[in-house]
Amino acid sequence: MCECLSRKLNPRRFTGNVAGRRDRLPNDLPDSTVPELPEVEAAARALTRAALGKTIAAVRAIHPALKRKLTPANSRRAKGKRIRSIDRRGKHQLLGLDSGDTLVVHFRMNGDWEIGTTNDQLDRFARAVIDLDDGTRISLVDRRALSSITLDKEGSSSLPKLGKEASDPTLDADYFVKVLARRKIPIKPALMDQSVLAGLGNIYAAEALWEGELDPKSPASQLSKEKLERLVAAIRLVLSPRRRRPGRYTDTRGRDRFAVYDREGEICRRCGGTIQRIVQAGRSTYFCPKCQLG
Ligand SMILES: [Zn+2]
């Protein structure tokens, strides 16, 4: 089998994104495909292996929506620059160039990298491509074309205000006491607010609250320090490397990682209660009303 064919059969993608099952809210996007911190981290690591230290031969947006963000002028500006750093901040991937500029990528709901060569046929969902001087091609693939790639000029940043990283080892209850003090909203949407904590989305927020036996409806500002300590430990657990098996969510093995997410009507594996789904801030929240009482 030629290399290109084997690549087509086993496309090297990194967030586990697939055309997933739809969430049950008609106007909600399918969370089952949305990359959160562990998936974006895996994608950034793959990008590091493929691109760090190499020089950009060409970078271009293909889809009109992405062209508005990565303009032809900015594409020309990035050409010929060496990628000297690759970092993740929240769900953003930052490619630091030797010019001082930064390419900022956000996968949004469905984005992923496909890494191949400039000889490969372009994926039909490739929305932007970065060609490197050694013939590597990094394609930003996204069925919905909601992803973004922008160029931040040296000294400027398009990143929104972001809270502490959910994976930051210094995250503690005191941090939450401070940032949640005036949050009247329930803890679940507060955890998904990237300016509170960067990296968690709908899936991992629900999983952390289940691990911590915390009620997703509890007002964020009223959680005791003891409960916030439980929350910190739970976030650490759901993001821990042994849980990090980015695989396709729709695989049984992938779904097994989740205790409550998308399990409405199923039996809670901790207490035997029945998992419920409620809607908070327009998104589905899955939880066990019998044991998540905090
Ligand atoms: Zn339970």
Q: Is residue 159 part of a domain?
A: no
Domain boundary among the residues 152, 186, 205 is at 152
In terms of domains, do 118 and 205 share one? no
pLDDT at res. 241: 72
> Does 178 lie in the same domain as 97?
no
Residue 54 domain-assigned (yes or no): yes
Task: Establish if 294 belongs to a structural domain.
Answer: no
Q: What pLDDT score was predicted for residue 33?
A: 62
- Number of domains into which the chain is organized: 2
With a cut of 50, which residues of the chain have pLDDT below it? 1-11, 16-30, 247-253
pLDDT at 164: 98
Domain around 256:
164-287
Task: For residues 216 and 98, state if they share a domain.
Answer: no
Output DSSP code: residue 101. Answer: -
Those residues whose beta carbon sits under 5 angstroms from the ion ligand 1 are 268, 270-271, 273, 288, 290-291
For residue 251, the domain's CATH number is 1.10.8.50
Tell whether 157 is covered by a domain: no
**From ligand 1's centre to the CA of 210, what distance in Å?**
8
User: Is 102 found in the same domain as 199?
Assistant: no
Q: How far does the centroid of ligand 1 lie from the alpha carbon of residue 275, in Å?
A: 7
Q: Do both 128 and 169 map to the same domain?
A: no
Amino acid 252: pLDDT:
43
Does 170 lie in the same domain as 143?
no
Q: DSSP label at 19?
A: S
Same domain as 146, residue 177: no
Q: What is the pLDDT of residue 294?
A: 81
Domain final position from 108, 123, 152: 152
73/172 same-domain check: no
How far does residue 188's CA lie from ligand 1's centre (Å)? 17
* Strands lying side by side in the sheet with 102-106: 83-89, 92-97, 102-106, 148-152
Q: 260: which DSSP letter?
A: S
Distance 240 CA to ligand 1 centre (A): 22
**What is the structure's pLDDT at 274?**
98
Q: 105 and 207: one domain?
A: no
Backbone phi, then psi, for 25, in 5-degree steps? -80, 125
Is the Cβ–Cβ distance between 39 and 14 less than 8 Å?
Answer: yes
Residue at a domain's end among 152, 183, 208: 152
**Residue at 81 is within a domain:** yes
Q: Domain check: are 186 and 279 in the same one?
A: yes
Which sequence positions are flagged as catalytic? 35-36, 91, 283
Q: Is residue 292 part of a domain?
A: no
CA distances (Å), 34 to each of 21, 138, 142, 224, in order? 11, 20, 11, 31
Distance, CA 234 to ligand 1 centroid (Å)? 15
pTM of the model: 0.86
280/285 Cα distance (integer angstroms): 6
7/145 same-domain check:
yes
- Tell me how far apart the alpha carbons of residues 107 and 34 are, in angstroms, rounded to a whole number: 8
CA of 259 to the centre of ligand 1 (A): 10
* pLDDT value of residue 14: 63
Kindly give the distance from the C-alpha atom of residue 293 to the centroid of ligand 1, in angstroms, as a whole number: 9
Do 124 and 33 share a structural domain?
yes
pLDDT in tens, 80-139: 999 999 999 999 999 999 999 999 999 998 899 999 999 999 999 999 999 999 999 999
Residue 293 lies in a domain: no
* Res 228: pLDDT: 98
